[in-house]
């Protein structure tokens, strides 16, 4: 298995309630996982724990054979090789699109860096926007830059926190399709958090439903939500084969 979470536990200081309670879960390489839950269910905390932005109380996490944390170790977020797309994108406002993407590329020659920037921009279809600043982009474009920035260093795992919540509904449907295509094309393993069943349905290979910090259900979208993927709005651009076949 590619990623293995065992008995993950977390609670905020001075809170008797466990935000994440005995969470165990495995992910295969190339899988797109959706963590579905209401607000306050602990789903964003789970993502931040995997990223290393919060420190767990107990449990362990292994990614591609490397220990991220356990009782003895805690690897800092910058050493984990995990990419993250933030809910509000967190594009650095004082840097252009190109500079934002370059920020994550350190151990490369200048030429390779430029090449990689072009590659990811092509992937998200934003060639020609290199010199723009975040405030000169639309919400959808900002999100794609954030995705390109996270993918540029070729992380082993990419995390997306409510990737559609800041977009209007029309855009959501289109971006959803785009996002799945981009992730699959780059063969990236991804975990994204959402409160929207349609998003989970349209994007994920597997859905993890969580409630009060515990796993409620795990399964394929069609098993879990009882609808055939083709009937879901926004799926029109993706064929059924594409959706279930790529694994």
Partner 1 sequence: MNKHLANVNGWTIGAVLIIILLFLPNMSIVVGVFSPASDNWAHIKEFMLLNYIKSSLTLVLFTALFTIVIGLSLAWLIAQYHFPLRNFMKWALILPLSIPPFIGAYTYHGIINYTGVIQKTLRNHFEITPNPAYFDIMNVPGAIFIYTLFLFPYVYMITRIFLSHQAASLIESARTLGKGPWEIFFKIVLPISRVSIIGGASLVVLEVLNDYGVVKYFGIQTFSTAIFQTWFGLGDLESSIKLAASLMGIVIVILIIERLLRGGKQYSYSTTKVRPLPLVKLTGKKAFFATSYTLVIFSIAFLIPILQLCSWVILTFGKVPMGDVLLYTKNSVIVAGLGASLIIVCSLIVGNFSRVVNHKFAKVLPKLTVLGYSIPGVVVAVAVITTFIALDRLLAPVYQFWGLDSELVLSVSLFMLISAYVIRFFAIGYNSIEAGFDKIGTDFRDASRMLGAKSLRTFFKVDVPMMKGAIISGFILVFIDILKEIPLTLILRPFNYDTLATKAFQYASDEKIMEASQASLLIVGVSTIAIFVFHKLLREEPE
53 binds partner 1 (CB under 8 A): yes
83 binds partner 1 (CB under 8 A): yes
Using the contact rule CB under 8 A, the part of the chain among 87-95, 136-144, 174-182, 211-219 near partner 1 is 87-95
59 binds partner 1 (CB under 8 A): no
DSSP-derived secondary structure letter, 96: -
Q: How far is residue 83's CA from residue 152's CA, in Å, rounded to a whole number? A: 9
**Footprint of partner 1 on 135-174 (CB under 8 A):** 149-150, 153
Beta bridge partners of 3: 27, 63
94 binds partner 1 (CB under 8 A): yes
107-122 burial: b if 16+ Cβ within 10 Å, else e: eeeeeebeebbeebbe
The three-point CA angle 22-28-32 to 5° equals 90
Among residues 26, 28, 40, 55, the one that binds partner 1 under rule CB under 8 A: 55
Helix (H, G, I), strand (E, B) or coil at 122: helix
Number of residues written out for the chain: 247
The tokens of 16 are what?
Answer: 């008797």
92 binds partner 1 (CB under 8 A): yes
Q: How far is residue 198's CA from residue 125's CA, in Å, rounded to a whole number? A: 24
Measured from the CB atom, is 148 or 238 closer to partner 1?
A: 148
74 binds partner 1 (CB under 8 A): yes
Number of chain positions touching partner 1 (CB under 8 A): 30
Measured from the CB atom, is 88 or 216 closer to partner 1?
A: 88
E strand spans, 98-182: 157-161
Q: How far is residue 89's CA from residue 103's CA, in Å, rounded to a whole number? A: 15
Given strand 214-219, what is the order of strands in its sheet?
Answer: 82-85, 157-161, 189-194, 32-36, 206-211, 214-219
237 binds partner 1 (CB under 8 A): no
Q: Which of 165, 217, 212, 218 is nearest to 45 (CA)?
A: 212
30 binds partner 1 (CB under 8 A): no
86 binds partner 1 (CB under 8 A): yes
Among residues 39, 65, 78, 110, the one that binds partner 1 under rule CB under 8 A: 78
67 binds partner 1 (CB under 8 A): no
33 binds partner 1 (CB under 8 A): no
* Minimum separation from the CB atom of position 48 to partner 1 (A): 8
Measured from the CB atom, is 51 or 123 closer to partner 1?
A: 51
Q: Which of 7, 10, 66, 39 is nearest to 161 (CA)?
A: 39
Write out the residues near partner 1 by the rule CB under 8 A: 13, 51-53, 55, 57, 71-72, 74, 76-79, 81-84, 86, 88, 90-94, 103-104, 106, 149-150, 153
């Amino acid at each position: 298995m590619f990623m293995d979470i065992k008995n993950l536990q977390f609670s905020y200081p001075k809170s008797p309630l466990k935000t994440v309670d005995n969470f165990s879960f495995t992910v295969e390489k190339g899988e797109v996982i959706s963590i579905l839950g209401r607000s306050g269910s602990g789903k964003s905390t789970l993502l931040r724990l995997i990223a290393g932005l919060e420190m767990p109380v107990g449990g362990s996490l292994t990614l591609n054979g490397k220990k991220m944390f356990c009782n003895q170790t805690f690897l800092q977020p910058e050493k984990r090789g995990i990419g993250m797309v933030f809910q509000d994108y967190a594009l650095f406002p004082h840097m252009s699109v190109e500079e934002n993407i370059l920020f994550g590329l350190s151990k490369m020659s200048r030429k390779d860096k430029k090449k990689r920037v072009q590659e990811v921009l092509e992937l998200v279809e934003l060639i020609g926007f290199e010199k723009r600043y975040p405030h000169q982009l639309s919400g959808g474009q900002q999100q794609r830059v954030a995705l390109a920035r996270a993918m540029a260093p070729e992380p082993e795992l990419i995390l997306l926190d409510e990737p559609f919540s800041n977009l209007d509904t029309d855009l959501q449907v289109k971006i959803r399709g785009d996002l799945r295509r981009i992730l699959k094309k780059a063969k990236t393993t991804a975990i994204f958090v959402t409160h929207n069943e349609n998003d989970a349905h349209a994007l994920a290979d597997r859905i993890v439903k969580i409630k009060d910090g515990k796993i409620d259900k795990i399964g394929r979208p069609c098993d879990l939500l009882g609808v055939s993927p083709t009937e879901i709005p926004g799926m029109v651009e993706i064929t059924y084969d594409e959706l279930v076949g790529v694994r």
